[in-house]
Structure 1
């Protein structure tokens, strides 16, 4: 393994301080001390275990009706996240209704209103922007409905917001690329604005350009659609024709796995194996693509999307039980590099054998959860 996998550098800290104007930092009060994700996870677990007994709370002795409202459902990362949500709710004996807004924020807000009117027992928010959905989310809070959001810039008292620590995700992948390029080269940046996690990842990219001025961006493109990977592949194919010679492009930074899949396939088909791809996010499909012999996909920074979905549900059930939950929580990301994976195909559930620290989070667990699962075994 490479020694630079750990990204707790002074530069990262400085960059995060520069990013203090983002909405995530606004959610923190001036009295809040920032802690590493692992410390936050441990503290959250200890607090909840001390506050709860192993007896299932009265509020959860009936099946909960949950609304899971998603800004979009594009690609395998989203599908595995939704799978994690469904599995955790099912284990707890609840019911979950999935709402896909197809990247329409007004529709997403309307779905939140619908969930409030239906008097659901809890609402899960996936992505979405505060300027569009915050008024509807406030109505849910005022109605006494627990809300937990994922990868959103919402900052409403009583709403827990979890994320993948997008700043660390981005810097993990970028620093790996800089080291492999020895601090010099020509790169392509695939990116689209308008999404909270993408905006946060871009903060680190802008810092990266200042840190490594000899790494030059020669092209930038990207859009989000129902066929993002295919659209990205077509755009990359056109770019490869514009830059046909070896050495024209050294690497591609694609901070979304749908982007990374598209550029990887374009590079493979063009036979341009000298170009390396560095991405963010991971799924079983992504792993298979990374492990192909001629795959240029070199590294990706990621968390387990299914585990994120399960974590979000656990926080929601803690809220429904009346337990204290944090205002914000960041999941610890990891860098997965192709060279660390075996020659045989592996799945997301097996990565822990090859990547230090990869595993299921035990945050947001309460003693009564095991009894709740036992009571709902089928």
Structure 2
């Protein structure tokens, strides 16, 4: 069962959308001992808040629905909020969970502005679990193995360029979102270590969350005017791949066949672009957002069973190089059904 708070105007409630190492529990308050709890329904009788930064993007929708479905499978009632891709609103939405005195919170994405709210929940004895949101106030954060994924993408990029060339980078969020920084740093380190003849163009470009494809398209058109044929070989989007849609459009609109595109996320829309013959989009990393959020909800269940919960739960990523792999991964992930 899912509860909603439609009466609260500051909150957009997302209800019913179709959308590695091991440490002890980080919360200062002790986890329940699990006595008398049904192991198959550890969340029975409990209300779990699920806060998502937005549901406009494929990754966000999949993670949100994965968390909701698994909480309900484990017997819990879900109270959901949607920040509409506004980090301030997303942070404020956590006040509802505090006011409603929920039993636990799963928070999906968001920047550092969310952390003071997570501290308030922690101090009130409400355990918090992150989905791509690492925080000292969270019992656990479930996420992709971004270092492995970034390293794999660096190899894809280096091989696609034959080990030589110049790359322009969209990197607006590497300093504000830890998982973005992990991806970018690993990608850049792989290039520096094994492809020393590849250079990164400075300054970096800053994409926007809002209207990301169109924003990136306009910036790329200007970039291609500045860098004629032979002076730029790749445009890389460091954190996600929605801007890459606009990058590809700009390259094709400009009639350029000398510039490749690489990015990180590999949802159904971008894998479809990669699958097209002759597409400049040659490298991506597929994530499993539904699995990540499902694991987060499972960790909530483990917590209430009194079991040890790891500080970080890593989920593997899938490297995608070229059209054939894009088609294969799309099929494996069910995107072509």
TM-score (norm 1): 0.70
1:112 is aligned to 94
Query: Which of 89, 94, 106 is matched with 2:71 structurally?
Result: 89
Cα deviation digits, residues 137-187 of structure 1 (max 9, x gap): 23322333231112223123x611122122222221112111222321011
Matched, 1:186 2:166: yes
Residue 47 of structure 2 corresponds to residue 68 of structure 1:
no
Instruction: State how 1:157-176 maps to structure 2 within 5 Å.
Output: 159-176=139-156
For residues 323 and 192 of structure 1, what CA distance do their matches in structure 2 show? Answer: 38
Match of 1:77 in 2: 59
Is 2:84 the partner of 1:98? no
CA distance 1:223–1:73, shift in 2 (3 Å): farther
State the partner residue of 2:309: 325
Aligned residue-pair number: 300
Equivalent position of 2:197 in the other structure: 214
How far off is 1:305 after superposition?
1.5
Separation (CA, whole Å) in 1 of partners of 2:192 and 2:325: 32
Deviations 1:228-273 (A, max 9, x none): 122112211222222342x232112212111222212222333323
Q: How does 1:191-340 map to 2 (within 5 A)?
A: 191-193=171-173, 194-208=176-190, 210-211=192-193, 212-218=195-201, 220-245=204-229, 247-255=230-238, 256-340=240-324
Deviation at 1:85, TM superposition (A): 2.1
What are structure 1's unaligned runs of at least 5 residues? Answer: 1-33, 41-50, 352-378
**Gaps spanning 5+ residues in structure 2: where?**
1-19, 23-33
Distance in structure 1 (CA, Å) of the matches to 2:75 and 2:36 = 19
Contact kept, 8 Å, 1:284 with 1:347, in 2: the verdict is no
Following the alignment from structure 2 to structure 1, what is the Cα–Cα distance between the partners of residues 190 and 272?
A: 29
Matched with 1:150 is: 131
Determine the C-alpha separation between the residues in 2 that align with 1:55 and 1:100.
31
More deviation, 231-240/204-213:
204-213
Distance across 2 between alignment mates of 1:209 and 1:147:
36
Contact 2:37 2:305 in 1 (8 A): no
> What's the CA shift for 1:96?
2.9
Q: 2 CA distance for matches of 1:302 and 1:55?
A: 35
Give distance in 2, aligned partners of 1:340 and 1:252: 21
Q: Is the 8 A contact 2:44 2:74 kept in 1?
A: no
Q: Secondary structure at the match of 2:208?
A: coil
Answer whether contact 1:167 1:204 (CA < 8 A) is retained.
Answer: yes
With normalisation by structure 2, the TM-score equals 0.78
1:294, 1:57 → 2: CA distance?
49
3-state DSSP of counterpart to 1:221: coil
| CA RMSD, 1 decimal | 2.9
Q: Secondary structure at the match of 2:333?
A: helix
> Contact 1:288–1:345 (CA<8 Å) still a contact in 2?
no
Note closer, same or farther for the CA distance 1:135–1:54 as it changes in structure 2 (3 Å cut). closer
1:58, CA displacement in angstroms? 7.4
Q: Residue 173 of structure 1 contacts residue 301 of structure 1 at CA under 8 Å; is this kept in 2?
A: yes
8 Å contact kept, 1:192–1:198: no
Q: Classify 1:264/1:342 alpha carbon distance in 2 versus 1 (closer, same or farther; 3 Å).
A: closer
> C-alpha distance in 2, partners of 1:344/1:160?
32
Q: CA deviation at 1:326?
A: 0.7
Checking the alignment, whether the CA contact within 8 Å between 1:273 and 1:295 is kept in structure 2 is no
The 1:273–1:99 alpha-carbon spacing in structure 2 relative to 1, beyond 3 Å, is farther
**C-alpha contact (below 8 Å) 1:304/1:348 kept by paired residues:** no
